[in-house]
């Protein structure tokens, strides 16, 4: 494992950013709801986007230092896009559960399992994926234009295509698939009422 990270330092940065995300999220929410220190909690949670900045800088430095562009550099671009697009949703998801468990907040609302509400949910998720793909593409394109050598360019531009394949697959197996299903029962019968 250490040898792999030594050969691909950006992979180590991606791993550290993912661990850092959950550490900052958990500690920020613990400070908010257990220690009742809302301002400090906000400061800790604001550290989450800084992880994305660290990842971009580390990727750019690695490429600038002449590293052979590989999957880790492409994944760094994808990670950044998905982190920015889905980060606020993840924070809200965790916050609702933490507030319910430790601060007497309302029970988290579960997504509908079928019906129009389910389709709207899947369309919103897919639009987040499109947003993530756009951010990833711009990031990778910026690396190509401003940092990468001609030898590094094909790998990075190849990852731009891959992210849009993900968008297409998410569309087919998300909103399109759900739109083709027939509802067996009314949507509110499929929902789990956890408030009772």
Residue 94: predicted pLDDT: 95
Flag whether 154 is in a domain: yes
Rounded Cα distance between 122 and 133, Å, is 16
For the residues 21-28, what does the mean pLDDT come to?
96
Nearest to 63 by CA among 51, 72, 54: 72
Flag whether 83 is in a domain: yes
In Å, the largest CA–CA distance within the chain is 61
Rounded Cα distance between 185 and 111, Å, is 16
Flag whether 195 is in a domain: no
- Find the domain containing 146 and state its range: 2-190
User: How much is the pTM?
Assistant: 0.85
pLDDT tens digits for 85-97? 999 999 999 999 9
Flag whether 133 is in a domain: yes
Total structural domains within the chain: 1
Flag whether 79 is in a domain: yes
Flag whether 196 is in a domain: no
């Amino acid at each position: 494992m250490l040898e792999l990270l030594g050969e691909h330092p950006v992979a180590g940065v991606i791993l550290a950013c993912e661990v850092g995300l959950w550490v900052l999220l958990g500690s920020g929410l613990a400070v908010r709801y257990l220690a009742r220190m809302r301002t400090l909690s906000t400061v800790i949670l604001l550290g989450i986007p800084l992880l994305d900045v660290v990842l971009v800088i580390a990727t750019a430095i690695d490429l600038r230092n002449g590293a052979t562009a590989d999957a880790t550099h492409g994944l760094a671009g994808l990670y950044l896009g998905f982190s920015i697009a889905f980060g606020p949703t993840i924070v809200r998801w965790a916050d609702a559960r933490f507030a319910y468990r430790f601060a007497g907040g309302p029970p988290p609302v579960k997504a509908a399992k079928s019906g129009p509400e389910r389709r709207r949910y899947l369309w919103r998720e897919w639009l987040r994926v499109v947003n993530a793909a756009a951010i990833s593409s711009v990031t990778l394109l910026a690396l190509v234009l401003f940092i990468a050598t001609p030898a590094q360019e094909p790998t990075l531009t190849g990852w731009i295509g891959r992210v849009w394949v993900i968008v297409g697959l998410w569309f087919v197996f998300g909103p399109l698939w759900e739109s083709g299903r027939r509802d067996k029962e009314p949507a509110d019968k499929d929902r789990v009422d956890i408030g009772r």
